[in-house]
Amino acid sequence: MSDKKVFISVGDPSGDMHGANLMKEVLKRDPGVKFYGLGIHRMHDAGLHCMHAMDDHAIMWASTLVKIPTLWQVYRDCKRFFEEERPRLAVLIDYAGFNIYLARAAHKRGVPVIYYVCPQLWAHGSWRIKKLRRVIKKMLLVYPFEEEFYADSGIPFKYVGHPLFDELEKREQNNDLVNRLKAEKGECLISILPGSREQEIAKLLPLFLGATEGIRKKLPQAHFIISCHHARNFDLVAAIANRFGFSNDIVVGNLPEVIEASTVCLTSSGTVTLEVAAHLTPMVVVYRITPLAYFIAKPYIETPFLCLVNKVAGEHLVPESLMYRDDRQWIVDRVSGLVLDKDRRRRVVEGLTRVKAAMGGAGASAFAAEEVLNVINSGV
């Protein structure tokens, strides 16, 4: 085994951000470590020897059939790397549908595995714990409620906190932009956050924009803004927005400023809900799924909470829906309710304050880096 060679794998932009921050913290402590694997732009900039760029593979696993040949080739290349290069460690970040297979492949070839931002087995698939126990050396947990879930799993773990808060601490908010958005859009600004994956955007953005007419009937003073996570998504976002007459209401990037300026965020599920919570902005959360996928998945869902914010809160703090049909009225009622019902809005903001405190502050990347170096230096 190479004492300084580490394999690392992510599959989407948020994983790329967390991976880059982890790499920087490791290299700060030991510049001799060499990272190889699967990443996107930020990890490449942090020094990754990139085997495959994963910006084209950030896909929802219910719709991966067209990508299977490419992903199979990526998987084969990773197996070959484990066999030929014998890295000291494999660090897998989120992206469970693919990374779990890599965990098995690495373990089979004698490469210890750390899983960072672990599979959400508490939501579905707790039966997979037995399989993971065989192949994972250590899990680095990012949500406080995961400690109780994994306590009897037999898998070594450490709670390190969520790396999102490392990123939030580093950012400097552009208050001029926040004030400009408020001045241009008024005091009732509804921001639409359809996600960063193309399939997610294609499913959610038409649904969200289709609900704006009903929202305007209840909130005549409302204005809307669409957050485009990255410039590479702009053409898709603009094409959908144009169909609904919102071609001039798109902001590319600047997500913190969009959230801060908003009265309510209408958002996809996932990590973005924690970022919205960090700004104490009330939100309505929708996960869009096909009817077939809904009826297949429903018996296996093991948590009453879809939204991470509600899971951390331990209650249905913000409205959420696993939506298998276009229920625009549900969206209209929940968004307008968070504006018109002042008591409800106050309770949500108070709850988000508790969620923010429970998640803790920055430091996850540094704690995770120490765990990575412990394995590298242990000679296991």
Confidence band of 302 (pLDDT split at 50, 70, 90): low
* Cα–Cα distance measured from residue 292 to residue 368, given in angstroms and rounded to the nearest whole number: 38
Mean pLDDT of the residues in the chain: 90
Write down all domains in the chain, each with its CATH number in brackets: 5-161+363-378 (3.40.50.2000), 169-359 (3.40.50.2000)
CA distances from 100 to 70, 73, 90, 131, 299 (A): 17, 16, 12, 10, 22
pLDDT bracket for residue 61 (50, 70, 90): very low
Query: β-strands 250-252, 320-323: how paired?
Result: unpaired
What confidence tens digit (pLDDT) does each residue in 368-379 have?
999 999 999 886
Say if residue 153's pLDDT is above 50: yes
pLDDT band with cut points at 50, 70 and 90 for residue 154: confident
pTM: 0.86
Any idea which of 86-100, 289-303, 341-355 has the lowest mean pLDDT? 289-303
Element (H, E) at 200: helix 198-210
Amino acid at 1: M
Region 190-217: mean pLDDT is 94
The pLDDT, as a whole number, for residue 330 is: 97
Q: Is the pLDDT at 59 greater than 70, yes or no? A: no
pLDDT in tens, 110-136: 999 999 998 777 666 666 777 888 999
Residue 309's pLDDT band (cuts 50, 70, 90): very high
pLDDT tens column, 73-84 = 889 999 999 999
Average pLDDT over residues 295-308: 78
Give the pLDDT of residue 224: 96
- The most distant pair of C-alpha atoms in the chain lies apart, rounded to whole Å, by 65
Statement: residue 217 has pLDDT above 90? yes
- pLDDT for position 124: 66
The angle, 0 to 180 degrees and rounded to 10, between the axes of the packed helices 198-210 and 328-340 is 70
Q: Above 80 in pLDDT, residue 94?
A: yes
Residue among 268, 48, 15 nearest 142 (CA): 15
What is the rounded CA–CA span in Å between residue 293 and residue 63? 10
